[in-house]
Amino acid sequence: MRFFHYICRVNICVMPKTVTLQLSPKQAADEKFYIAQVAQRLGIRQSDIALARVTKRSIDARQRMAKVNLTLEVYIDNEPQPEPLHFDYPTVENTTEVIVVGSGPAGLFASLRLIELGYKPILLERGKSVLSRKHDIAQINRGGNIDPDSNYAFGEGGAGTFSDGKLFTRSKKRGDYNKALQTLVWHGANPAILYEAHPHIGTDKLPRIISNICRTITEHGGKVLFESKVSGFVVKNKRITGVRVGDNTVEGAAVVLATGHSARDIYELLYSSGIAIEAKPFAMGVRIEHPQRLIDSIQYHREERGEWLPAASYSLVNQEAGRGVYSFCMCPGGFIVPAMTDSSQTVVNGMSPSGRNSAFANSGLVTEVRLEDFAHLRAEWGELAGLRYQQQFEELARAHSGLKQVAPAQRVSDFVAGKESKSLPATSYIPGITPSRLDRWMPDAISERLRSGIATFGRRMKGFVTDEAIVVGVESRTSTPVRIPRDNETLMHVEIEGLFPSGEGAGYAGGIISAALDGERVADAVARYCIAHNY
Ligand SMILES: Cc1cc2nc3c(=O)[nH]c(=O)nc-3n(C[C@H](O)[C@H](O)[C@H](O)COP(=O)(O)OP(=O)(O)OC[C@H]3O[C@@H](n4cnc5c(N)ncnc54)[C@H](O)[C@@H]3O)c2cc1C
């Protein structure tokens, strides 16, 4: 029996009252205060309120004094109230097995959805469990070796585990988005993500949530196998029947391939096996880091942000010489981290803890890379040309960074002026930075656009171009340079029956939530495929 097990026990007769308040940040943090305001606004006594819950919270920093907009749903005594949301996963121990490769957000949400639909996911992950992975990540931060199977990108939860945990998506399907957030809350995330305008979990909280999701999968009959790197596909007559893990073959009715955009060996394997992949445009650039107090003072129009306002963020975009230059994955109160997957590269990314309380604000600052930029690599590398271009950029950064995970950096004012930085300011990047002429050694198509983009942003945000800020190289893994093509309707690979590419690595998502939603959609498609073929 296959049915939808996600149950939202909400009484449809419920008609709560909606109240929107505009408050100071301090008032918005004081529940007693705003509940009293709600009662006054509705003309009732506080004791008449059975339930008041925040449904939306956003900060308006356009005026001199920042305000918090708070929307509440209010239930008055004797009115029916909504029951809490409940996930009721069935047991799938003895049902049809489906292989899921990769335990990032796409693979995890595909597995949960397969369970909801009555299928047994066999989740294969090349990396280690969160606990063991923590040690490897600590070692990378100390400048130690990089385990090519256990790092910021690979291991339980994929790139989403030691990420920032901003839960943003451009998906128009509100219901799916809300369900993804509810799933995270069900597995331990703070319910505030359900109403914050810019929901964020934080890198200190994510590992536990990810482990809880894996526990749900195993407790309901699925399998999660760590240190199980897929190194081959079993394909007969253009139909996939299993995958190779070491000397073993794992078989399943279908294969969800959710290996993320750092799994270069998977792209190479597909290409060398004659399974279609396509080079695609992507984006690369640098990470930019400012003192957080500087960003706060620009965004909140005052010296100190004070006790009640969160660390300020920004989002910047402009067209420079016909291409987009934009900030990406902005981490207020965060850290720059070494995100390479082997020791021949230097790659940085950003994250922040839930409290967003570091003294630094960082953001990716990237520009489009188009097919023509790596056309010269096409003859030798074919559809892997963009991947090779990305790899060369990372190796170049490594060549300019000296030892271990030390990253090349330049003061922002020097980068814009085309000058050497004789010294560098303090940074959140633990392995350390070294002065380098990023403006010179990055490909012109990237450095020239970033330079004019940063100058433009400096005119919009006074103080953004400063010698207190740095650009750090390189931010190269914002998106994948390769797509694994699939049919728009069946979501199956265009040539290989039973193979379902999913998530960021396949080119169908960018970010935690969109990868998770893609994993769910693909699981639905797998179920349709299995039903049609009686698997
Ligand atoms: C430091 C950092 C911060 C980030 N912050 C944010 C943020 O705040 N918000 C946001 O939305 N996004 C953020 N991202 C991006 C986000 O993490 C990714 O978009 C998302 O994880 C992609 O999900 P995915 O499931 O498609 O792939 P991934 O998360 O990359 O997962 C792929 C998984 O496949 C496994 N795998 C690869 N090859 C094999 C193989 N051969 N066999 C078995 N397993 C394999 C990998 O080990 C990995 O676990 C951040 C990323 C990083 C690195």
Confidence of residue 7 (pLDDT cuts 50, 70, 90): very low
Residue 187 has pLDDT above 60, yes or no: yes
Residue 501 has pLDDT above 50, yes or no: yes
Smallest CA separation from ligand 1 atom 53, residue: 159
- The verdict on the CB of residue 166 being under 6 Å from ligand 1 is yes
- The verdict on the CB of residue 351 being under 6 Å from ligand 1 is yes
- The verdict on the CB of residue 503 being under 6 Å from ligand 1 is yes
Å from CA of 205 to ligand 1 middle: 16
- The verdict on the CB of residue 161 being under 6 Å from ligand 1 is no
Confidence of residue 4 (pLDDT cuts 50, 70, 90): very low
Calculate mean pLDDT across residues 454-461.
Answer: 97
Å from CA of 58 to ligand 1 middle: 28
Å from CA of 39 to ligand 1 middle: 45
Å from CA of 516 to ligand 1 middle: 10
Confidence of residue 2 (pLDDT cuts 50, 70, 90): very low
What pLDDT does residue 6 have? 42
Kindly report the pTM of this predicted structure: 0.94
Smallest CA separation from ligand 1 atom 3, residue: 163
Q: Which residues contact residue 404 at a Cβ distance below 8 angstroms, ignoring those fewer than 6 apart?
A: 143, 144, 431
Q: What is the mean pLDDT of the chain?
A: 93
**Domains contained in the chain, CATH given:** 17-81 (3.30.70.2700), 97-277+484-532 (3.50.50.60), 279-475 (no CATH)
Q: Which residues contact residue 113 at a Cβ distance below 8 angstroms, ignoring those fewer than 6 apart?
A: 519, 520, 523, 524
Å from CA of 291 to ligand 1 middle: 28
Please give the number of the atom of ligand 1 that sits closest to the Cα of 505: 26
What pLDDT does residue 81 have? 78
Å from CA of 463 to ligand 1 middle: 33
Write out pLDDT tens, residues 108-126: 999 999 999 999 999 999 9
Give the angle subtended at the CA of 476 by the CAs of 449 and 205, to the nearest 5°.
120
- The verdict on the CB of residue 259 being under 6 Å from ligand 1 is yes
What pLDDT does residue 9 have? 42
What pLDDT does residue 246 have? 95
Please give the number of the atom of ligand 1 that sits closest to the Cα of 108: 25
- Strand 407-411 with 433-435, pairing: parallel
In the chain, the percentage of residues whose pLDDT exceeds 90 is: 87
Confidence of residue 12 (pLDDT cuts 50, 70, 90): very low
- The verdict on the CB of residue 103 being under 6 Å from ligand 1 is yes
What pLDDT does residue 174 have? 66
Residue 349 has pLDDT above 70, yes or no: yes
Å from CA of 153 to ligand 1 middle: 6
CB 452 within 8 Å of CB 321 = yes
Question: Which among 154, 181, 204, 315 is the best mutation to test ligand 1's pocket, defined by most ligand atoms within 8 Å of the CB?
Answer: 154
Å from CA of 397 to ligand 1 middle: 22
Calculate mean pLDDT across residues 43-49.
Answer: 92
Residue 260 has pLDDT above 70, yes or no: yes
Å from CA of 313 to ligand 1 middle: 23
- The verdict on the CB of residue 111 being under 6 Å from ligand 1 is no
- Residues 483 and 107: their CA atoms lie apart, in Å, by 17
Å from CA of 535 to ligand 1 middle: 30
Smallest CA separation from ligand 1 atom 2, residue: 163
Give the angle subtended at the CA of 19 by the CAs of 13 and 24, to the nearest 5°.
150
Please give the number of the atom of ligand 1 that sits closest to the Cα of 506: 26
Residue 8 has pLDDT above 80, yes or no: no
- Pick the closest to residue 363 from 300, 296, 289, 282 (CA basis): 289
Write out pLDDT tens, residues 320-332: 999 999 999 999 9
Å from CA of 295 to ligand 1 middle: 28
- The verdict on the CB of residue 230 being under 6 Å from ligand 1 is yes
3-class DSSP state for residue 393? helix
Q: Per the structure block, which two tokens stand in for 222? A: 């699925």
What pLDDT does residue 168 have? 79
- The verdict on the CB of residue 363 being under 6 Å from ligand 1 is no
Residue 83 has pLDDT above 90, yes or no: no
- The verdict on the CB of residue 414 being under 6 Å from ligand 1 is no
- The verdict on the CB of residue 72 being under 6 Å from ligand 1 is no
Buried b (16+ CB within 10 A) or exposed e, 204-233: ebbbebbbebbebbeebbbbbebbbbbeeb
Q: Per the structure block, which two tokens stand in for 447? A: 């450095």
Smallest CA separation from ligand 1 atom 30, residue: 260
